[in-house]
Structure 1
Amino acid sequence: MQRFLFFLFFLFVAASTVSANDLQDLLPPLLSAHPNQSGAYVLDKGEESLLARAWLVDHAAETIDVQYFIWSDDNIGTLATESLLRAAQRGVKVRVIVDDLLIQAPEDFLLALAAHPNISIRVYNPQHKTGVSTQQRLWNIFSNFRAANQRMHDKTFIVDQQVAITGGRNMADEYYDFDQSYNFRDRDILLLGPVAQTMTGSFDAFWNSDLAKPIESLLNAKLAPDAQRREAIYADLHAYAQNPENFAPEVKQALDDLPLKFRGLMDNLAWGPVCFVSDEPGKNPGDNGLGGGGRTTSQLAAALARAQKSVTIQSPYLVMPDGGLELFAGLIKKGVKVRISTNSLLSTDNLQAFSGYSNQREDLLDAGIEVFEFQPYPRIQQQLMERYPKLKEKSPVFALHAKTLVIDGKQLFVGTFNLDPRSANLNTEVGVIIDNPHLAQQVELEIERDMAPGNSWNSAEDNPDRFAPWGKRLKMTFWKWMPMEDIL
């Protein structure tokens, strides 16, 4: 948190020396000092990742492009929406792409936002919810199962085509440590420079795809609110954001107090080439049914195949896609140490995915892969959650959601790719590959800490399933018998 606040403080000080307090004035000195390079900063904590988005939205000058798999109508989702509306009202062009499967908002609310001249909203692959009846949804599932299961899992946040964030976090309470019962240990990465332009190119490809439909074309025009109702919706959003009961005062205070707390940054950004990897809309042509792979799958597999000493992975779901076990077994035979951090039965939010892992667990261990299963109340929770003192009495579950890969302590991947068949073959994914020993080792240390006793169980020694209640074990056993591995 402290290193990140150093970064925000530097930008604040820079803002005080220019006439306009926006990113177009703040970033050129930084970028000109590192020509043709991109800066990177790992966002490990939920609150620092939330602060990053809030600060960047408030300082955007021209454009904000946002792409998420989940956008909830909970506290954080509503506050994020209000911040985008404020940016649009001061003239910033805002584009939003959200996957159809888990979008949550009343139809008149979505139409009111889309009616703003500076806000455009598109829904990716609307097969399930947006403007789709129950009968049509069922028909979509039965008539084209692959299309109904092909989702946009991308998470990108791009401001002025110069600063961006990608990683595991969606837009909902549990990704920023604000849920009262269940939160995620996740990871994002903040990026400056040319890589943000590459990410904008990927965003544009989705925006212009036939799979991304304007929200107005999907919803009943009769539901569109008139001008008076639109202004009332906007006013309600602003009032919600100003209510201290809805936005923890310490978060706003953290932004206000930055100049009083920290005085530096430059040594905390890692500069160098950053490779953004992304799938095309649709993932692949679909000729191979539920298989087919994709660009992210190929690039990550190629990076893994080059490993010489070690591979350290963090993935909330662990179901080896076709060829995955063979790839890792081959690395181990070459002397490469392979370690994977994933959820336990007690911490997982996805029993179906865990059942696939459970079916493969013995094969993974027999191949020589070291697997560590995250505990639901790990000791590390106290260090990673800024709000832990306020939540500890309710003991919220803390589960893994980070998708990270470190190769040979030199190469780092942070993105949206889960180690499972769905990410390999069905969902579009994004992320960055960075050749930087400092960043790679920093993240590897974080994962090793998550693997340590008190934070995780050793799958080979501790029999972690025994800690789960019998009801959850029974449900998991049921899902193990279901023939659904290709969509896990």
Structure 2
Amino acid sequence: MRRGLQVILISAIVFAFYYFGFGVVGRTAGTIVSVFSTLTVISLCFMISMENRNPSTTMSWILLLALVPIVGLLFYFLFGQNFFNRRKYDKKALRDMEAYERIENEELRIHQDLSKFTTRQQQFLKLSQRLARTPISFSTETTILTNGEQTFSTLLTELENAKHHIHMEYYIFRADDIGTQIQQILINKAKMGVAVRFMYDAVGSIQIPKVFLKEMEEAGVKLVAFGSVKTNFFSSRVNFRNHRKIVVIDGSVGLIGGLNVGDEYLSRSETYGFWRDTHMLVKGEAVRTLQIIFLRDWLYMTGEQFLEQEYLSPTLTSGNDGVVQMIASGPDNERRVLRNLFFSMITSAEKSVWLATPYFIPDDDILTALRVAALGGIDVRILFPAKPDKWVPFFASHSYFPALMEVGVKIYEYEKGFLHSKLLIVDGEVATIGTANMDMRSLNLNFEVNALLVKTSSVQKMVTDFERDLLTATLMSPERLKVKKVWERILESAARLMSPLL
């Protein structure tokens, strides 16, 4: 909000000088408001242009402010302030790097036999290390959990088995049936002496009842809301959300993926119907990186640090199942890790690029990479929901499809229900699964976490599930684009203009 106050103050000073120095014709209330709002918009546009943002983002904000000033000002104060300003997260970034360096040393260097990987895959692994600065593990076991039933049954079982600690971090956590089930386990475990730490996003989980949280707190569960905006909803902090879904149990078992906690993720919602999603169970060495990501978020919000060995000594697995790397991304990282990882995966493809995402709002580089891959004969497929959960991103996503289809990208609309999986699979051997959508918000603004998998059995399971999903999807045809109604084209174009702001 500081930037907004600065703009208003500057505008007020200019307006006062203009008003008292030259006078305002008629000095009517309407004229005063008009002059003041015009000065505010001009000041904002100047400041935005001086921030050297992405040109398309800059022009989108300027157009929005110029064409609809009142709406533009509201959107700016909610979502536009310091759009790429990471200074408020500098301390968090520094502490995170210190934590990673603690486990870096020899572990971060690949000294295992890489002969089973192609030259491209070896180069890609080295690049992912330099981007993420997190260890690559050869001693981790992963299991793909398809949809809510498998995910929550696994989660409940693992929570019941907890002996030492439970660390849980979610974007959305609801106080419905499944949420209450998990709450009761956390309460019981806390009473048994298990250390339970529970973090939820203040905006994503804004509907959690206070009494629900109070019951947990009174039982000994430690709670924290990430990025609280109670005192000032118009703070720029509201724009940077923690979209991560992390569970770490006893330092040796972890879960990450696309599912939040709520009954709709178990396909119990009449609005969404069947909910298609993907999560992953992780056991072994890579859980340590998940643990550190959680503990750094906890430290940032509470000031409490728990980097002791009791939290950082996972049980290692046999290590016969490829490579696993946990990758965190967010506004505190100037390397735009996941965006660059996705770009590198696409450009390294030799045979295929398969993408599943509920929102498709790529930047120019990702869009170009997909087009070039398709032009080069790569099998590029995008699996996208036929029905939306959010209309603006849905229309914005559709505006990108014609440019992809004209170069041979195949776009499938998932018909069985709502598709929420977030997967990128390259050549059937390299894949990433996690919390990040293929949109500008996930790649630039949100705190996200993904797992990179290379030649693991989980990649093959993801391929199998993707192929099965295609059986309940419809291939979008060029003819359908030609017969779109005028109002659909207008909405898509308008949403496309807003896409850098989404």
TM-score (structure 2 length as normaliser): 0.65
Task: Report the residue type matching 1:486 in the other structure.
Answer: P
Matched, 1:279 2:293: no
8 Å CA contact retained: 1:186, 1:401: yes
- What amino acid is the match of 1:485? S
Whole-angstrom CA distance in 2 between matches of 1:156 and 1:52: 14
- Select the residue among 366, 382, 406 that pairs with 1:366: 406
Residue aligning to 1:443: 462
Q: Tell me, yes or no, if the aligned pair for 1:355 and 1:477 is still in contact at 8 Å.
A: no
| 1:213-252 to 2 correspondences below 5 Å | none
| Alignment-mate amino acid for residue 456 of structure 1 | A
Q: 1:175 is matched with which residue?
A: 265
Deviations 1:190-220 (A, max 9, x none): 110011111001111111114x699xxxxxx
Q: Does 1:484 align with 2:498?
A: yes
Structure 2 residue 297 is the aligned partner of structure 1 residue 206? yes
Q: For residues 438-477 of structure 1, what are the structure 2 equivalents within 5 Å?
A: 438-452=457-471, 455-461=472-478, 463=480, 477=490
- Residues 176 and 315 of structure 1: CA distance in aligned 2, closer, same or farther (over 3 Å): same
Aligned partner letter, 1:358:
H
* Alignment partner of 1:72 out of 162, 174, 184: 174
Aligned mate of 1:126, from 210, 228, 232: 228
Residues 138 and 321 of structure 2 are in contact (CA less than 8 Å); yes or no, is this contact kept in structure 1? Answer: no
Q: Indicate the SS of the match to 2:261.
A: coil
Amino acid at match of 2:212: F
The answer to which structure, 1 or 2, has the higher relative contact order (CA under 8 A, 6+ apart) is: 1
CA shift, 1:180, in A, is 4.1
Q: Return 295-304 or 155-164, whichever deviates more.
A: 295-304
Higher helix share: 2
Match of 2:109 in 1: none
The aligned counterpart of 1:153 is 243
Query: Contact 1:317 / 1:357 at 8 angstroms: preserved in 2?
Result: yes
Which residue of structure 2 aligns with residue 308 of structure 1?
Answer: 350
**Matched residues in 2 for 1:484 and 1:279: separation?**
23
**Paired residues of 2:183 and 2:216 also in contact (CA < 8 A):** no
Give per-residue Cα distances to partners, 1:323-358, cap 9 Å, x unaligned: 1111112222333221110112xx211111111112
Q: Per-residue deviation at 1:101?
A: 1.0
Aligned in 2, Cα 1:476/1:169: closer, same or farther, shift over 3 Å?
Answer: farther
Inter-partner Cα distance in structure 1 for 2:152 and 2:432: 21
Contact 1:49-1:176 within 8 A present in 2 as well: no
Q: Taking structure 1 as reference, are residues 465 and 284 closer, same or farther at Cα in structure 2, changes over 3 Å only?
A: farther
Correspondence 1:410-421 to 2 at 5 A: 410-421=429-440
Deviations 1:136-181 (A, max 9, x none): 32x32xxx3xx32211111111110101111000000111233344
| Counterpart for residue 84 of structure 2 | none
Percent of aligned positions that are identical: 24
User: Is the partner of 1:78 in helix, strand or coil?
Assistant: helix
Matches within 5 A, 1:298-447: 298-344=340-386, 347-375=387-415, 378=416, 398-436=417-455, 438-447=457-466
Any gaps of 5 or more consecutive residues in structure 2?
Answer: 1-136, 305-318
Flag the 1:300–1:109 CA change in 2: closer, same or farther, 3 A: same
DSSP-derived class of the 1:179 partner: coil
CA distance in 1: counterparts of 2:332 and 2:264, whole angstroms:
27
Distance in 2, matches of 1:60 and 1:405, equals 32
Q: Is the 8 A contact 2:323 2:456 kept in 1?
A: no
Contact 2:147/2:275, CA 8 A, preserved across alignment? no
Q: Structure 1 residues 466 and 108 mapped into 2: Cα distance closer, same or farther (>3 Å)?
A: farther
Aligned amino acid, residue 261 of structure 2: M
What amino acid is aligned across from residue 173 of structure 1 in structure 2?
D
Change (3 A) 1:418 1:82: same
- In terms of mean alpha carbon deviation, does 75-84 or 436-445 score higher? 436-445
What TM-score does the superposition give when structure 1 sets the normalisation length? 0.66
CA distance in 2, matches of 1:465, 1:123: 47
Q: CA deviation at 1:302?
A: 2.0
* 1:445/1:78 CA distance change after superposition, 3 Å: same
Deviation at 1:445, TM superposition (A): 2.4
Counterpart position of 1:294: 336
Partner of 2:186: 84
Report how many residues are paired: 350
CA deviations over 1:24-46 (Å, ceiling 9, x no partner):
xxxxxxxxxxx961111110132
SS at match of 1:481: helix
Tell me which of 98, 101, 114 is aligned to 2:217: 114
CA distance in 2, matches of 1:197, 1:162: 7
Cross-structure match for 1:94: 196
- For 2:481 and 2:217, the matched residues in 1 are separated by 48
- Native 8 Å contact 2:166 2:194 kept in 1: yes
C-alpha separation between the residues in 1 aligned to 2:303 and 2:178? 25
Quote the Cα distance in structure 2 between the aligned partners of 1:82 and 1:171. Answer: 14
**Aligned AA for 1:313?**
L
The structure-2 alpha-carbon separation of the partners of 1:445 and 1:465, relative to structure 1 and needing over 3 Å to count, comes to farther
CA contact (8 A) 1:410 1:438 kept: no
Deviation at 1:95, TM superposition (A): 0.9
Q: 1:270·1:439 contact (CA, 8 Å) conserved in 2?
A: no
How far has the Cα of 1:466 moved from its partner? 8.4
Q: Measure the CA separation in 1 of the matches of 2:284 and 2:256.
A: 14
Contact 1:38 1:191 in 2 (8 A): yes
1:94-152, CA deviations, whole angstroms, 9 ceiling, x for partnerless residues?
111111112122224323422433x111111112xxx34xxx32x32xxx3xx322111
Judge conservation of contact 1:317–1:418 (CA < 8 Å) in 2. Answer: yes
